[in-house]
Amino acid sequence: MSEYLLEMKDVSKAFPGVQALNHAQLQLKSGHVHALMGENGAGKSTLMKCMFGIYRMDEGQIFMDGRPVVIKDPIDALSKGISMVHQELQQVPARSIGENIYLGRYPVKKLFGFIPMVDHKKMYADADRVLKKVKLPYDSTKAVGILSTSQMQLVEIAKAVSAGCRVLILDEPTSSLTESEVETLFDIINDLKKDGVAIVYISHKMEEILKISDEVTVMRDGHYIGTWDAKTLTTGDIITKMVGRELTRLYPERENVPGEVVFEVEDFTSINPKSFRHVSFSVRKGEILGISGLVGAQRTELMEGLFGIREHSSGKIKLYGKELKVSCPKDAIDHGVAMLTENRRVSGIMGALSVSDNISISSLKNYLDYGIAINSEKVEKLVAEDVEKMKIKTPSGETPIQTLSGGNQQKVIIGRWLANSPDVLILDEPTRGIDVGAKYEIYCIIAELAKQGKSILMISSEMGEILGMSDRIMVMCDGRCTGILDGKDATQEKIMALATQFE
């Protein structure tokens, strides 16, 4: 028997204009958590999709228990004991938890001895057993759509466990989880380790990697860099191996000088009594106002209310002292307000369209000849300028945006909004799911926008990001603004004190 449960050797994969993998390697041991690290675009997800049968390798081999195997598609991968929990959820919200867990492999019984039909009784009984095994107190007959995003993520993990996996791939599994849910996930992982399951763990959260991993493999630009015992590494070691250089700064020097008040919010209250209420604040020209708070503080809901996505019952929004009427996003956009949403896959990118389409979609009215025909040359110039200015890594403007890394997708969306020259830019978790190198590039873009005089509202759940990037910090708790701190005086302790100031 081989020392490794699964091995990938010399794996190469190319897409038009991009060599995604170049002789990559991976070796997984039974009962070990193996962290797979690298910047966005390093090839991590592509390698995992080759393992799971979503992509066919151009070169290379996969071995299980020392024997070569060919994985034709995801169903074949599942039959061989390989399961994958994707970063972007792949569920059917209108169907039950049990149906989602057994989607595509329902237990079947024969009616009258010959008519095949789904055995719902067995399916729900089996689903309840799986949920109990992974310590999730959910009713398997309830629709999965009523769950929060984090709870849906845990159901996906239960689905993988239900398949009796020997290898489990977790791609950014904690990106939507609360701290208590992360601990629940780690308990599940430890139980799976005891059962001999090999776990591939992809995450950009260094503290998690060092806490849960046994080995760490680093990839860069599609190449295998190396594998190390996790106990021998520090956060700095991993970052240096990922980016190929030592990062001396996590946040850029800022040269912005906040000026006059540009954006004002007075007594803003949601139509939903359990959401934001009586919130007042202002943002100055060239200022970065950080928005902090714990999960459930209603930060995103407040920003969506200001952008016209959610209804409000009372309150005023002012731009340069003039009251705005915002009842839908178009109103906000017309008044010079832009919003980068938290979930770029769901409400940010248009995955089936090109980079060019995604950049130009919100500003096409500015590139019309005679008010009816799109001037392609002007659009191409806009896209080329944004690609160069934002350092977007893409083979061309016609490349489908869904093939780009998360960091580059985020840059495209920022470029889309900047094409409208907004005065106020709302950024909701702008670096979520992005590696440390790409984060720094996003931070530089934000700092430059502030220097140019843009008023920026930035929601972030990362304390370091809030402290490192904000001129002032507004803290929310249970739908209320509980305080505003000067960035120079703010500390983690002061923010947490305000974030837990319940009525």
CATH of the domain at 464: 3.40.50.300
Q: Are residues 146 and 282 in the same domain?
A: no
Give the residue-averaged pLDDT of 460-485: 93
- Specify the pLDDT at position 357: 87
Pair type for strands 337-340 and 288-293: unpaired
Domain-terminating residue out of 243, 268, 287:
243
Residue 67 lies in a domain: yes
Burial of 425 (0-12, 13-18, 19+ CB in 10 A): buried
Residue 171 lies in a domain: yes
Give the residue-averaged pLDDT of 253-260: 92
Residue 403 lies in a domain: no
Q: Check residue 342 and report its DSSP letter.
A: S
| Residue 446 CB contacts under 8 Å (≥ 6 apart), including other chains | 288, 427, 430, 456, 458, 469
Q: Are residues 211 and 80 in the same domain?
A: yes
At 181-237, the pLDDT tens digits run 788 889 889 989 999 999 999 987 888 888 999 999 999 888 999 999 999 998 888
Residue 355 lies in a domain: no
Q: Are residues 497 and 472 in the same domain?
A: yes
At 96-120, the pLDDT tens digits run 999 999 988 888 988 888 888 989 9
Residue 12 forms beta bridges with which residues?
59
Q: Are residues 52 and 175 in the same domain?
A: yes
Residue 483 forms beta bridges with which residues?
475
Q: Are residues 78 and 204 in the same domain?
A: yes
Residue 259 lies in a domain: yes
pLDDT at 142 over 70: yes
**Percent residues over pLDDT 90 in the chain:** 48
- Residues 176 and 153 sit within 8 Å (Cβ to Cβ): yes
Chain-wide mean pLDDT for the chain?
A: 88
Q: Are residues 319 and 452 in the same domain?
A: yes
Domain-terminating residue out of 243, 263, 280:
243
- Between CA 22 and CA 49 the distance in angstroms is 15
Give the residue-averaged pLDDT of 445-450: 93
Q: Are residues 237 and 260 in the same domain?
A: no
**Residue 324 structural domain:** 249-336+422-503
Burial of 112 (0-12, 13-18, 19+ CB in 10 A): exposed
- Residues 439 and 260 sit within 8 Å (Cβ to Cβ): no
Q: Are residues 151 and 113 in the same domain?
A: yes
pLDDT at 248 over 80: no
Q: Are residues 76 and 114 in the same domain?
A: yes
Q: Which has more confidence, 370 or 62?
A: 62
Q: Are residues 213 and 312 in the same domain?
A: no
Burial of 74 (0-12, 13-18, 19+ CB in 10 A): middle
Please count the structural domains in the chain: 2
pLDDT at 1 over 70: no
Give the residue-averaged pLDDT of 428-443: 80
Q: Are residues 263 and 239 in the same domain?
A: no
Helix (H) or strand (E) holding 407: helix 406-418
Domain-terminating residue out of 226, 243, 260:
243
pLDDT band at 245 (very low <50, low <70, confident <90, very high): low
Give the residue-averaged pLDDT of 306-311: 94
* Phi-psi map region of 42: left, alpha, beta (phi>0 left; psi -120 to 50 alpha): alpha
Residue 342 lies in a domain: no
- Specify the pLDDT at position 122: 93
Residue 349 lies in a domain: no
- Specify the pLDDT at position 228: 95
Q: Are residues 108 and 148 in the same domain?
A: yes
* Phi-psi map region of 293: left, alpha, beta (phi>0 left; psi -120 to 50 alpha): left
- Between CA 473 and CA 430 the distance in angstroms is 16
